[in-house]
């Protein structure tokens, strides 16, 4: 039996109406009625040709996927099976487009070369690791998925869809439970339910039954089978299914050591094996038997099995008459691509996305104990300690050095209390963000803006409590504009520090980010002008003060307290060097600075860091790690 007898993906599948046929063979997801809440789709067939994917292992390279070819047709439930390490997840990542570079071969959609951006919008990928926001309840998580991905139905229908998903996936008992408190099986079901609310034409699922009991696993596969019967193309990797679960699959793609050893109908499996003198014992689970064959329990027969499903590597390197690739895939014209892009842009307007994401980010931060309660308690504790050390130092000319030490300590508290929580929290958010971006939930820039705005109250409020504790008791001038500027500079140093933490988190994993974040801000810390005034530094290192955001915040604090005609300080000693605040500013080098310039520079610094963090985040997500 040849695994490619039915491999005829070069023929486009025709749509059922005039609109669908405008994009022949690529965009054919026209609704054709509903059954139990699912849309019925006309065929989207996925094919892959001569896929090879290598990774470096020391000086050598290892084939995780070697010359695999196959197909997954619409209205079928396809299982990708194989022993651990055989290449199931790698193949699924390639087909879903999670690895969109660094491989040889071609993935085709109804015979057309896959356009990854378009394909992402008509498919979804449920990964093996359940990346969920831990503080949202089950109901909130599904509700926000519906809000972001089903824009064309009214509020009542959205509510019904949420309830239907909760009931269908057996999540009623935990509907108001936060995801961090769910069992492994409940988390898996929630992850799948979130992705399937809008019934995408093509579904990829990596080990959807892992962590589930037999009853729940069967229910999961039954739902996937029902979706396939409605015209969806469903592909999932699965490990050691029971005989009953195995019987629900239409097609099997079996892999061993990075090669395909069977590609065909499930009911034809035993006949195929028998022709190779491999006879499954009576009453033995066929899924277990083929896994045993792939593991080498019956001898080294994978090579002979794999030869039947390997296609020869095409020899020509260019396009065939400009319309097909060397793998036989048709090339989509610019007109078809433009029409497809028009059809598959974000259906939810960005303002609605912003509203939903702002609410979600607000809830995420509000319920995060590290970001809220512990941060507030830490600020209060630091305020009490600073009050004990620096009580009433601001009114005395003899205590100005102690007062600026308080300013420096305040800057340090702002930096450390902002950078460390951000470095701990944001990398975890990136994992969820990567999944949702792959499945086209929302615009990245809208998420970034919503996340920034949601953080502002939680950044300002605890800091306001700290300033309220230390400002008046430490003897700072009780003029409204001075207190406001003092608070503003503290907020700015927190916001810039958070921006730097986001930059670090966007390029490094959490363990690395924890070690890297503080060294990154160390130059700003040492060259802020507190240890050595900038005008006393060597010209070779003086430029470091110009790029130190803490330098501008520190000088801004000095100007807001001692600048702009402040009255002479109280002098309780015979000789007072700094009775005149202007003289003290001359000594520190801050006298020629302008408070407006300090504010503008810090705003520019924050804008630059925020934009840089956004670009780095976008690059990281595009790498599909």
Whether this model's pTM surpasses 0.85:
no
Contact predicate 10/19, CB 8 Å:
no
Model pLDDT, residue 34: 44
Confidence of residue 371 (pLDDT cuts 50, 70, 90): confident
Flag the least confident range among 19-23, 175-179, 422-426, 562-566. Answer: 19-23
What is the arithmetic mean of pLDDT over 350-354?
89
pLDDT band at 23 (very low <50, low <70, confident <90, very high): very low
Report if residue 257 sits inside a domain. Answer: yes
CA distance 22 to 333: 12
Q: Which of 29-38, 103-112, 125-134 has the lowest mean pLDDT?
A: 29-38
pLDDT score, position 11: 33
Claim to verify: residue 311 and residue 361 sit in the same structural domain: no
Q: Confirm whether 553 is domain-assigned.
A: yes
Residue scoring higher pLDDT (212 or 461): 461
8 A C-beta contact, residue 217 and residue 249: no
Handedness of CA 581, 584, 586, 591 (dihedral sign): negative
Residue 63 has what pLDDT? 82
Average pLDDT over residues 2-18: 35
Mean confidence (pLDDT) of the chain: 84
Q: Is the pLDDT of residue 26 over 60?
A: no
Closest alpha carbon to 166 in 174, 158, 157, 178: 174
Tell me, yes or no, whether 402 and 540 share the same domain: yes
Distances (CA, A) of 77 to 41, 42, 109, 347, 535: 14, 15, 17, 28, 72
Query: Do residue 471 and residue 604 come from a single domain?
Result: yes
Say if residue 443 is in the same domain as residue 533.
yes
DSSP notation for 340-375: HHHHTS-SS-HHHHHHHHHHHHHHHHHT-TTTTHHH
Angle between helices 400-438 and 480-507 (to 10 degrees): 40
Which residue shows structure tokens 């949420």? 162
- Asked if residue 155 is part of any domain, the answer here is no
Same-domain status, 311 and 446: no
Q: Are residues 469 and 582 in the same domain?
A: yes
Q: Does the structure show a pLDDT above 80 at 33?
A: no
Chosen domain end from 343, 360, 387: 343
Choose one of 293, 308, 343: the last residue of a domain: 343
| pLDDT tier for residue 341 given thresholds of 50, 70 and 90 | low
Q: Is residue 174 part of a domain?
A: no
| Residue 371 and residue 256 share a domain | no
Q: Does residue 69 sit in helix, strand or coil?
A: strand
Residues 223, 100, single domain; the answer is yes
- Mean pLDDT score, 477-491: 94
Pairwise pLDDT comparison (57 vs 610), residue with the higher score: 610
Percent of the chain with pLDDT strictly greater than 70: 88
326 CB-near residues (< 8 Å, 6+ apart): 314, 315, 316, 317, 318, 319, 320
Domain CATH number, residue 46? 3.40.50.300
User: What DSSP state is assigned to residue 241?
Assistant: -
Transcribe 518-535 into DSSP letters: HHHHHHHHHTSSSSS-GG
Q: In which element (H, E) is residue 77 found?
A: strand 76-81
Q: What is the pLDDT of residue 606?
A: 94
- Residue 137: inside a domain: no
pLDDT in tens, 308-338: 888 777 666 555 555 677 666 777 767 777 7
Q: Among residues 94, 98, 63, which one has the least CA distance to residue 80?
A: 94
Which of the residue ranges 75-84, 239-248, 396-405, 616-625 would you say has the lowest mean pLDDT?
616-625
Kindly tell me if the per-residue pLDDT of 368 is higher than 70.
yes
How confident is the model over 540-586, as pLDDT tens digits? Answer: 888 899 899 999 999 999 999 998 888 888 787 666 777 888 888 88
The reply to whether 337 and 354 lie within a common domain is: no
* DSSP-derived secondary structure for 526-560: HTSSSSS-GGGS-HHHHHHHHT-HHHHHHHHHHHH
Structural domains counted in the chain: 2
Q: Which domain holds residue 260?
A: 18-122+200-343
Q: pLDDT band at residue 445, thresholds of 50, 70 and 90? A: very high
Looking at residue 170, what is its pLDDT? 87
Is residue 65 within 8 A of residue 222, CB to CB? The reply is no
What pLDDT is stored for residue 198 in this prediction? 81
Q: Phi and psi dihedrals of 331, rounded to 5?
A: -100, 125
pLDDT tier at 42, thresholds 50, 70, 90: low
- Is residue 156 situated within a structural domain? no
Same domain, 305 and 362: no
Query: In the prediction, which pLDDT does 316 show?
Result: 60
Q: Would the pLDDT of 36 be above 60? A: no
Does 330 lie in the same domain as 405? Answer: no
Same domain, 327 and 360: no
Domain stop point among 295, 321, 343:
343
| Higher per-residue confidence, 127 vs 25 | 127
Highest mean pLDDT: which of 117-121, 210-214, 447-451, 618-622?
447-451
């Amino acid at each position: 039996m040849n695994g490619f007898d039915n491999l005829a993906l070069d023929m486009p599948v025709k749509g059922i109406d005039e609109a669908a046929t405008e994009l022949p063979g690529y965009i054919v997801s026209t609704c054709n009625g509903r059954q139990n809440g699912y849309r019925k789709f006309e065929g989207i067939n996925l094919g892959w040709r001569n896929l090879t994917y290598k990774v470096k292992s020391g000086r050598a390279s290892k084939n995780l996927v070697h010359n695999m070819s196959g197909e997954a047709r619409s209205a079928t439930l396809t299982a990708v099976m194989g022993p651990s390490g055989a290449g199931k997840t790698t193949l699924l990542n390639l087909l879903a487009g999670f690895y969109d570079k660094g491989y040889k071969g071609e993935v085709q959609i109804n015979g057309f070369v896959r356009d990854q951006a378009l394909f992402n919008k008509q498919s979804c990928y449920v990964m093996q690791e359940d990346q969920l926001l831990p503080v949202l309840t089950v109901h909130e998580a599904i509700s926000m998925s519906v809000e972001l991905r089903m824009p064309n139905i009214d509020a009542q229908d959205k509510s019904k869809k949420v309830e239907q998903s909760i009931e269908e996936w057996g999540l009623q008992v935990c509907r108001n439970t936060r995801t961090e408190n769910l069992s492994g099986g409940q988390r898996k079901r929630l992850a799948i339910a979130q992705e399937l609310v809008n019934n995408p034409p093509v579904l990829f699922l990596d080990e959807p039954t892992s962590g589930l009991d037999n009853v729940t696993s069967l229910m999961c596969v039954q739902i996937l089978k029902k979706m396939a019967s409605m015209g969806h193309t469903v592909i999932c990797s699965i490990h050691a299914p029971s005989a009953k679960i195995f019987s629900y699959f239409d097609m099997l793609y079996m892999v061993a050591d990075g090669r395909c050893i069977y590609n065909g109908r499930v009911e034809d499996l035993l006949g195929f094996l028998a022709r190779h003198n491999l006879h499954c014992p009576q009453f033995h689970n066929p899924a277990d038997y083929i896994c045993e064959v792939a593991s080498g329990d019956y001898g080294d027969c994978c090579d002979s099995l794999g030869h039947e499903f390997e296609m020869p590597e095409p020899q020509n390197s260019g396009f065939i008459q400009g319309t097909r690739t060397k793998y036989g895939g048709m090339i989509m014209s610019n007109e078809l691509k433009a029409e497809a892009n028009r059809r598959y842009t974000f259906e939810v307007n960005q303002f609605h996305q912003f509203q939903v994401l702002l609410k979600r980010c607000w809830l995420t931060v509000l319920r995060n104990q590290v970001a809220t309660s512990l941060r507030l308690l830490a600020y209060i504790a630091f305020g009490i300690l600073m009050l004990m050390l620096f009580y009433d130092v601001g009114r005395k000319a003899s205590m100005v050095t102690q007062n600026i030490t308080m300013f420096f300590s305040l800057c340090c508290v702002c930096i450390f209390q902002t950078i460390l929580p951000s470095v701990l929290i944001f990398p975890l958010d990136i994992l969820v963000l990567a999944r949702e971006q792959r499945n086209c939930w929302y615009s990245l820039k809208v998420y970034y803006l919503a996340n920034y705005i949601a953080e502002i109250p939680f950044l300002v409020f605890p800091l306001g409590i700290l300033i309220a504790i230390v400002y008046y008791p430490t003897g700072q001038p009780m003029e409204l504009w001075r207190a406001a500027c003092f608070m503003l500079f503290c907020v700015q140093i927190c916001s810039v520090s958070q921006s730097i933490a986001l930059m670090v988190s966007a390029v490094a994993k959490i363990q690395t980010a924890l070690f890297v974040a503080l060294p990154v801000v160390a130059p700003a810390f040492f060259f802020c002008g507190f240890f050595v005034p900038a005008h006393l530094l060597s010209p070779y290192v003086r430029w470091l003060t110009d790029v130190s955001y803490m330098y501008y915040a520190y000088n801004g604090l000095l100007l807001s307290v001692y600048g702009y005609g402040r009255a002479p300080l109280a002098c309780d000693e015979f000789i007072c060097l700094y009775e005149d605040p202007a003289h003290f500013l001359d000594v520190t080098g801050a006298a020629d600075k302008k408070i407006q310039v300090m504010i503008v520079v810090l705003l520019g610094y924050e804008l630059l860091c925020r934009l840089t963090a956004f670009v780095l985040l976008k690059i990281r997500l595009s790498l599909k790690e």
